[in-house]
Structure 1
Amino acid sequence: MRVLGQARLRQVLTAILAAFMLLAAMNLAKGAWLAAGLELTTVALLVAAYRLNERHRAMASAWLTLGSLLLMLLGLMVAGQGLYDEAFIAFPGLLLFASMFGSHRLSAALLAVMLAALAGLYGAHQLGFLPSVPHAIDASRPLALATILVATGIFVMVVKADQRHLLAQLDIEKHELMRSHARIEELAYRDMLTGLPNRTLALHRLDGLLAQAQRDQTLVGVMLLDLDHFKTINDGLGHARADALLRAVATRLRACVRPGDTVARLAGDEFAVLLGGVRDEQAFTTIANKLLAQFDQPFALDDMPVHTSCSLGIAIHPRDGGDGTTLLKHADLAMSQSKSAGRNTFRFFDEQMNASLAEQLQLSAGLRNALECGQLQLHYQPKIDLASGRITSAEALMRWHHPEQSWISPERFIPVAERAGMIEQLGNWALHQACTDLLRWQAQGLHGIRVAVNVSPLQFLRTDMAHTVTQVLRQHGVTATSIELEITESVLLGDTARLSQTLDRLHDLGVQVAIDDFGTGYSNLAYLQRLAVQHLKIDRSFTRDIAHEPQTCELVRAIIEMARCLGLRTVAEGVEDAPTQQLLQTLGCDVGQGFHWSAALPAQSFADFVRRHHSALQPALATAG
């Protein structure tokens, strides 16, 4: 049985009790004792049903009410006028009650019982057992009929009210469902921060543009746009302002494309612009310049002007691909080329980019195998003390001897290792191998040589470098003074507090640190003054032309003087000839390194070279003495 609620049943029982109490009073007044007795008995049963309902037993109350009413009505008809009794008109109300509080099966069963009762009454009348004779109409009859009609009318009104409530509830649920569907669609296809289409919707729209382009023989352009140095903005200004910047960028991008074009946010600070119905490739150049121009003016974030730029990559259908996934991939490759070209520019995709990507994937797979199969080696380029002429240290340079491609330059595989997340493995291998070679040289009687190992900025900033070096030195039994680390200037742009702490710990160990390629990046003298570094390496781009360009010579002189004031030793890379060596000595440079003395050599060849070099120095030193 379906429960509609305790309150609704209370209303119905109150109406029925009132009706039957009125009918009982009327029958008592005119001396119809049997009818009055049946009605009073029904009142008692209905009171019991009322109490059951108040005790939260609505289903039992409804069943008792329904049974009592049916039996009472049939009893009144038998004791009264039979088929002519006014109790008959209450049957529809009883069916309404059953439909309110029961199932269709119960209503059908009740209807069958009623029809069977009528048939029985008719049969009893025909056989003479029950007379069905109408009585004379008096004032009590219309009152009784009115009472029954009122009770039935209350049933009808209750059903109507429930119907209205149900329809209203269904309407509310319908709108809630529509809102839920809209919300689900928004979550599935929209970027919540900017309101732009997300990657899923962008691909769907791109498929539509491609289908239309095939019919119309037009071009489709996919432009991928990435904000330059967004991480710096995010870290420096906070997530709230970075999010505001993304929303502002979305607004500007939407404003500078056609109504039918799509601007989407794919992820993070990466946006896509999808252009369809284009007939001239030159139009893509025009639009790309228009997009880049949107970043000429600063973005106002909480009244703070923020300047940024973007890098843009463009792929065109059908030239660069026939499906959305391929076009996005090619546009991404072109965007990477824009970044490599200095950012704040755009590049069109060409097949050479695909070839470069394939080569990088091949190198990445081969590099993992190289680590396992011993294809990597360290070669050592000597560093010469310019005052004494002795070899005091060497730079360890990684080499890859590929079984098919022979020697592969580190300029090719080191960037691949950084992108593939292998640079820490390579760096750790280099440290271990340098210690192994140092011990071998010492066993051969070659002492006093310090090895400088290059450390990638990624490895230096992401790992506990001091802990790593300590573990390696302890494992091999090598003294810390035998190891030097070379880091690039870009490391100085990282977490200054953490960087300073790491350098201090290395200094306490006895490990020396050199700033490599000094002068080519973000040279910061304040950092050099505060941080525990011991050497500056002057980049080969300065030493190469020092003997022929007076301005370069003066620049190198300034670097050497500055280093001397800061208590740092200078190492000149790329020394190719004797005049350059002599000039560097005159300028006060401490150490030289370059092909003038030797290229980088395998470990054993380097040891042999050191012995020959020092042997050749002995007569000169003796003469000088």
Structure 2
Amino acid sequence: MHGTYNFWLVALSLVVATLASYTALDLSGRIAQLPNRRQRHAWLAGGAGAMGIGIWSMHFIGVLAFTLPIAVGYDFTITAGSLLIAIGVSYFALSVIAHDTLGPKRLACAAVLMGLGIAGMHYTGDAAMQMQPGIVYDPALFAASIVIAIVASAAALSIAHKLRADEQENVHPKRMAASVVMGLAITGMHYTANAAANYLPGAICGAANGVDLRWLGTTISIFTFAILIVTLMLSRFDARTASLVQSVSQLNSRIVYMAAFDSLTELPNRRTLTEHMERAIELGKHGKGLFAVLFMDLDGFKTINDSLGHTVGDHVLRAFARRLTECASTGDTVARLGGDEFVILVRHVGLPDDARRVAQAVLERMREPIWIDERPLQVAPSIGIALFPRDGDTVEALLKNADAAMYAAKRAGRGTCRFFEADMNEAATRTLQIQQALHEALDKKYFSLRFQPKFYGRDGALAGAEALLRLNHPTLGLLSPAEFISIAERNGQIVPIGYWVVREACRQIRRWQAAGLKTTKVAINLSPRQLAQPDLLATIQEIVRAERMGPERIMFEITETAAMHDVRRTADTVHAFQKCGFEVAIDDFGTGYSSLAYLQRFRVRQLKIDRFFVDGLDANDEEGTAIVAAIIKLAHSLGMNVVAEGVETVSQREKLEALRCDQLQGYLLGEPLTPDAFGALLRGNGDGDGAPPLRGAPAPA
């Protein structure tokens, strides 16, 4: 007995198979992402029902596409059994896909079981027709249908497992293409099994009065599409909801992290450090461990930040943070308070030397340069140490006292450590008062200049002056530069103060000129922080032009240490100043590198011997004299004149004159004078420009 196929129903069966395959792929991805076991089982059950109905309905639509010349029906009980087989097979398939791994053995076993299940569903559906005599199957085609079912199952399981992650690139187009392939494989198995069935002549359907085919076909089609589409919608909605929940959770975690850790170095921040210190204090009060607070600040970091940029500064801070972490022990807390301030909370300190050893380890580690863009940068901290409970029993007190000890370490020469002592609080209070005074000084005109004269060693004539800054505060009184310059340098206030000094010096020179005095050259100090400013020369030129002052009246002094911090940059700066008509001198020579090669590169006009070597003329006699003589000969050989500062005894003056030192400066010859007092000195000395030509240099035209 032969039947015919309805093309449209065949096409509809393929569409249903494809939609069922896509549903399976989508559900596999959703189930794989579920962390909750109960949710996974719920989605497995629901997904198996939807997928099973899809496969089963494809089978029956395919059956309906085949028409026999006899009345056909299906036994309800057997038909329901075939549906249960389809749902069971689907549950098994989704369980396999959702597993973390799918090796070759697992895939082979699962494909065989699933293929046999699909084949069993198909042939059970055929049995529901209750044909009399029974259907005779072609052995070759029957076997082929089972093989196709197994191979199709293996392909479907493998593809579904690979595409189960929603994070893959173009995952939905890939699933769509894969579902078409899987749909073709499933329908191929079905129609191969149909081809294997032979209906004998005269056979009748024993279930012809069972389930009506038209009702069955319409119901299956409508419900299948509805169930599959609703299942897909629920899966997508649940996935989006889960994604939103995950995003909110990640955002919340990030907010919590940012509230507890520093974003640049990823170290604990001040808030987290405070919590750790509070717990340590609580344990310490119960006799469960003493601890130390190491407060540190990077020396020279602001210069790096200003001269090389914030990007390089950030690299330095991150590298420093990593090294600090390496120096800390398990249980210690390394935190960044902000800027270049770091703290190590050292637990289980038995003796003060335990904390000192940690500080010394940090200092030793930081002696190695930090390499940024193949450039070595030397950054060392000054460390202050406070011990619990000796130096405080609250977070605020311990941090404050460790901070005071850190500033004491800076005053002691930087790159060292100091334990907190009671009198440091007075120094810290004094520092805060000076900081506040500096903030007010420019606006309230607390600053003034003093001018210390310089004299020729040859005949004692006035050679020039050095402008020295003073701060006269109504409460603190008259402050010397030694008290406030380093504080202004650290806070960056030295930059506007330095420009004020240039402007005020120019104005004072004009006042002397207006009084009919023949003025001399005035030397002005430039700090390291000023040298780091990219617009330093342009700003100074603007000030000088605004004050109608010629550059030949001003000399700028740069300390040797500041000059050697970045030799190339210093050389460029010196040459730019000289090109604009300003003279430049190296101050405090002998305290830094004292390199002949560097002096040749700078080509400065004047060299100032540090007072340490001038003092050595008395203290060490022959050795001190030999050193000063060598410096003077070196400078003269390079065409520079030499100024000795800090001359305070007659013997020092006589030895310097004998060594042919060009100029002398010090309290023996003249103290820093007010502008009026220096004006009187100018009036008594007449023309102050009678300087002889430099030794070793051509006379000016």
**TM-score w.r.t. length of structure 2:** 0.59
Aligned partners of 2:369, 2:672: CA distance in 1, in Å?
Answer: 49
The answer to whether the Cα contact below 8 Å between 1:245 and 1:301 also exists between their aligned partners in 2 is: no
- 2:624 is the alignment partner of 1:556: no
Q: How does 1:22-421 map to 2 (within 5 A)?
A: 139-144=207-212, 147=216, 169=239, 185-186=256-257, 188-190=259-261, 196-216=267-287, 218-225=289-296, 245-246=319-320, 249=323, 252-254=326-328, 257=329, 259-264=330-335, 271-276=342-347, 281=352, 283-285=354-356, 287-289=358-360, 311-343=382-414, 345-421=416-492
Q: What is the count of residue pairs matched by the alignment?
A: 503
Match of 2:514 in 1: 443
Aligned partners of 1:410, 1:247: CA distance in 2, in Å?
Answer: 34
Distance 1:222 1:492, change over 3 A: same
Shift of 1:330: 3.4
Aligned partners of 2:415, 2:363: CA distance in 1, in Å?
Answer: 7
Aligned partners of 2:335, 2:444: CA distance in 1, in Å?
Answer: 46
Match of 1:35 in 2: none
Deviates more, 1:170-179 or 1:212-221: 170-179
Deviates more, 1:323-332 or 1:477-486: 323-332
Among 608, 612, 616, the alignment partner of 2:680 is 608
Aligned partners of 1:140, 1:512: CA distance in 2, in Å?
Answer: 117
The answer to whether the Cα contact below 8 Å between 2:327 and 2:358 also exists between their aligned partners in 1 is: no
User: What do residues 65-120 of structure 1 show as CA deviations (whole Å, max 9, x unaligned)?
Assistant: xxxxxxxxxxxxxxxxxxxxxxxxxxxxxxxxxxxxxxxxxxxxxxxxxxxxxxxx
The answer to whether the Cα contact below 8 Å between 1:379 and 1:600 also exists between their aligned partners in 2 is: yes
Among 498, 504, 514, the alignment partner of 2:585 is 514
Distance 1:396 1:477, change over 3 A: same
Aligned partners of 1:303, 1:614: CA distance in 2, in Å?
Answer: 55
The answer to whether the Cα contact below 8 Å between 1:221 and 1:284 also exists between their aligned partners in 2 is: yes
Distance 1:564 1:266, change over 3 A: same
Shift of 1:554: 0.9
Among 640, 654, 659, the alignment partner of 1:568 is 640
Among 424, 430, 447, the alignment partner of 2:501 is 430
Deviates more, 1:142-151 or 1:461-470: 142-151
The answer to whether the Cα contact below 8 Å between 2:644 and 2:663 also exists between their aligned partners in 1 is: yes
Shift of 1:568: 0.4
The answer to whether the Cα contact below 8 Å between 2:557 and 2:585 also exists between their aligned partners in 1 is: yes
Aligned partners of 1:298, 1:424: CA distance in 2, in Å?
Answer: 28
Deviates more, 1:452-461 or 1:565-574: 452-461
User: What do residues 175-201 of structure 1 show as CA deviations (whole Å, max 9, x unaligned)?
Assistant: 777666656655554567876544443
Shift of 1:362: 1.6
**TM-score w.r.t. length of structure 1:** 0.66
Match of 2:671 in 1: 599
- 2:620 is the alignment partner of 1:579: no
Among 456, 476, 479, the alignment partner of 2:527 is 456
Aligned partners of 1:419, 1:178: CA distance in 2, in Å?
Answer: 42
Shift of 1:272: 3.4
Amino acid at match of 1:491: A
Name the SS for the 2:211 alignment partner: helix
Name the SS for the 2:460 alignment partner: coil
The answer to whether the Cα contact below 8 Å between 1:390 and 1:614 also exists between their aligned partners in 2 is: no
Amino acid at match of 1:341: A
Match of 2:35 in 1: none
User: What do residues 41-71 of structure 1 show as CA deviations (whole Å, max 9, x unaligned)?
Assistant: xxxxxxxxxxxxxxxxxxxxxxxxxxxxxxx
Name the SS for the 1:143 alignment partner: coil
- 2:612 is the alignment partner of 1:538: no
Aligned partners of 1:344, 1:197: CA distance in 2, in Å?
Answer: 24
The answer to whether the Cα contact below 8 Å between 1:248 and 1:299 also exists between their aligned partners in 2 is: no
Shift of 1:505: 3.3
Distance 1:376 1:313, change over 3 A: closer
Shift of 1:589: 0.9
Amino acid at match of 1:556: V
Shift of 1:513: 1.7
Name the SS for the 1:596 alignment partner: coil
Deviates more, 1:346-355 or 1:276-285: 276-285
Shift of 1:393: 1.1
The answer to whether the Cα contact below 8 Å between 1:392 and 1:448 also exists between their aligned partners in 2 is: no
Aligned partners of 2:510, 2:263: CA distance in 1, in Å?
Answer: 59
Amino acid at match of 2:458: A
Distance 1:170 1:214, change over 3 A: farther
Q: RMSD in angstroms over aligned alpha carbons?
A: 5.0
Name the SS for the 1:567 alignment partner: coil
Distance 1:510 1:240, change over 3 A: closer
Deviates more, 1:411-420 or 1:212-221: 212-221
Aligned partners of 1:299, 1:502: CA distance in 2, in Å?
Answer: 25
Name the SS for the 1:486 alignment partner: strand
The answer to whether the Cα contact below 8 Å between 1:516 and 1:536 also exists between their aligned partners in 2 is: yes
Name the SS for the 1:595 alignment partner: coil
Deviates more, 1:567-576 or 1:242-251: 242-251
Shift of 1:465: 3.6
Unaligned runs of 5+ residues in structure 2 are 1-18, 24-49, 73-205, 688-701
Aligned partners of 1:458, 1:232: CA distance in 2, in Å?
Answer: 6
Distance 1:349 1:553, change over 3 A: same
Shift of 1:566: 0.5
Amino acid at match of 2:641: R
Shift of 1:546: 1.5
Amino acid at match of 1:550: E
Distance 1:204 1:155, change over 3 A: farther
Distance 1:141 1:165, change over 3 A: farther
Aligned partners of 1:298, 1:444: CA distance in 2, in Å?
Answer: 55
Distance 1:151 1:265, change over 3 A: same
Name the SS for the 2:541 alignment partner: helix
Aligned partners of 1:301, 1:223: CA distance in 2, in Å?
Answer: 26
Aligned partners of 1:384, 1:573: CA distance in 2, in Å?
Answer: 11
Aligned partners of 2:565, 2:415: CA distance in 1, in Å?
Answer: 23
Amino acid at match of 2:326: R
Match of 1:526 in 2: 597
Shift of 1:608: 1.7
The answer to whether the Cα contact below 8 Å between 2:383 and 2:405 also exists between their aligned partners in 1 is: yes
Match of 1:59 in 2: none
User: What do residues 272-308 of structure 1 show as CA deviations (whole Å, max 9, x unaligned)?
Assistant: 3324465655543455456656669999999999998
Aligned partners of 1:181, 1:463: CA distance in 2, in Å?
Answer: 42
Aligned partners of 1:568, 1:215: CA distance in 2, in Å?
Answer: 68
Aligned partners of 2:682, 2:503: CA distance in 1, in Å?
Answer: 22
Name the SS for the 1:379 alignment partner: strand
Match of 1:491 in 2: 562
Shift of 1:561: 0.6
